[in-house]
Amino acid sequence: MLTFIGGLVGQGRVTVKQMTDVSGSLLWFASGVALAVVALAFSYFTNYAHVGLLRSRIHTWQDPYVKDGPTTSRWGWFSMIFHSLAILAALFSLAVFVVGMFDVRLAIIRLGQ
């Protein structure tokens, strides 16, 4: 995208003022990348909570052999919350990226007018 903008301005086909429309769509792409990083962080925290959940259980030599510890339910909630946030952030990231693609398309169409 940056190369495309620089090439058009460098060839003198469009003015810098016209490119502000196209360059505004870069914010959509940058937001999509930032949301993808947030989704990745929530995925990490989901795995961290899963490990905390497993480590919070108490192992015994009597039936049922594995019992919930005092913090097991808390780790379960953390796991579920982080998992949901990771999915939402990933979906928003994809949506913002698609909006950015349509915004670029509209900006390029407006350049020809």
Distance CA 7, CA 13 (A): 9
Distance CA 70, CA 105 (A): 55
Q: What's residue 105's pLDDT?
A: 84
Three-state secondary structure string covering the chain: CHHHHHHHHHHCCCCHHHHHHHHHHHHHHHHHHHHHHHHHHHHHHHHHHHHHHHHCCEECCCCCCEECCCCHHHHHHHHHHHHHHHHHHHHHHHHHHHHHHHHHHHHHHHHCC
Distance CA 12, CA 54 (A): 62
Q: What's residue 53's pLDDT?
A: 97
Q: What's residue 73's pLDDT?
A: 97
Q: What's residue 111's pLDDT?
A: 74
pLDDT in tens, the chain (113 residues): 667 777 777 777 777 667 777 777 888 889 999 999 999 999 999 999 999 999 999 999 999 999 999 999 999 999 999 999 999 999 999 999 999 989 888 887 877 76
Structure tokens given for 13? 């086909």
